[in-house]
Amino acid sequence: MLRLEGIEAGYGRCAVLRGLNLEVGKGETVALVGANGAGKTTVLRTISALIRPRAGRVLFDGKDISHLKPHEIVCRGLSHVPERRGIFANLTVYENLVVGGYTQRLTSKDFEEVYTLFPVLRERAKQSAGTLSGGEQQMLAISRALLSRPKLLLLDEPSLGLAPLVTKKIFETIQRISSQGTTVLLVEQNAHAALKISQRAYVLEVGEVRFAGSSKELQANDEIRRAYLGE
């Protein structure tokens, strides 16, 4: 479904990604893990066209999307939940959801679906989003992305700053979203949790893929256990 070929990207003169290759198959949940500064967010920003690659191509459903604008990428069926969520603090929960679905003709059924995933959002629909707890904001950011009806959901550190129980709930919901047919590319610091719910994973190190394989394989790899799983 998604293929990154030889991606080189960065900021100004600073090169971050150095010839990155990565694939996500339809229906898969693929994890992208790595240390702070490895370039994980830069990968997602490149896919969403928030930054332009200097070299390489991004293919989605077999078509080159490298030249598209961010809103066109959303229309093709990719939706990005950014690091630190990027919710619209001054809008209500409901208004944030409406903005997420601006490319679609939403019906009440669409809202029901996200309220079923995260019932707290129904209770908080009229509350200004900036006053939600961190966990609720993450739920809102994921729901907002789902309302664009993505084929591929890009998640950047959904567990960032959340308590263990909330993190568990978020990961369970990601599995549920995946089982309902959405393909997922999951960036995570929490490698344990990410490897548990993904089928395949990439380990990024200073802009390059250091390991790639099935998540089970990576969980069993001694070097990865030491470096990324704290064992």
Taking Cα atoms as reference points, which of 184, 182, 214 lies closest to residue 199?
Answer: 214
Nearest distance in Å: CB 121, Mg ion: 25
Residues 161-180 that bind ligand ATP (CB under 6 A): none
Cβ at position 42, least distance to Mg ion in Å: 8
| Selected range binding Mg ion among 10-18, 33-41, 191-199, 210-218, rule: CB under 5 A | 33-41
Q: Which region, left, alpha or beta, applies to residue 135 given φ > 0 means left and ψ of -120 to 50 means alpha?
A: alpha
We find the least distance from the C-beta atom of residue 16 to ligand ATP, in angstroms, to be 4
86 scored as a contact of ligand ATP (CB under 6 A): no
Q: How far is the CB of 217 from ligand ATP (least distance, A)?
A: 22
Cβ distance to ligand ATP smaller for residue 9 or 153: 9
Q: Could you tell me which residues are beta bridge partners of residue 112?
A: none
The Cα–Cα gap between 162 and 144 comes to 19
Position 46 contacts Mg ion (CB under 5 A): no
CB of 182 within 8 A of CB of 151? yes
Compute the least distance from the CB of residue 127 to Mg ion, in Å.
Answer: 28
Among 42, 143, 178, 215, binds ligand ATP (CB under 6 A): 42
Q: Does 39 bind ligand ATP (CB under 6 A)?
A: yes
Choosing from 6, 11, 220, 223, the residue that interacts with ligand ATP (CB under 6 A) is 11
User: Using CB under 6 A as the criterion, what x/- string covers residues 189-228 for binding ligand ATP?
Assistant: x---------------------------------------
Report whether 6 contacts 25 (CB < 8 A). Answer: no
- The whole-angstrom separation of Cα 74 and Cα 108 is 21
Q: Which of residues 79-98 bind Mg ion (CB under 5 A)?
A: 83
Contact status, residue 171 vs residue 191, Cβ threshold 8 Å: no
d(CA 202, CA 34): 8
In angstroms, rounded to a whole number, what is the distance separating the alpha carbons of residues 31 and 228? 13
What token pair was written down for 184? 């997922």
Binding-site ranges for Mg ion (CB under 5 A): 40-41, 83
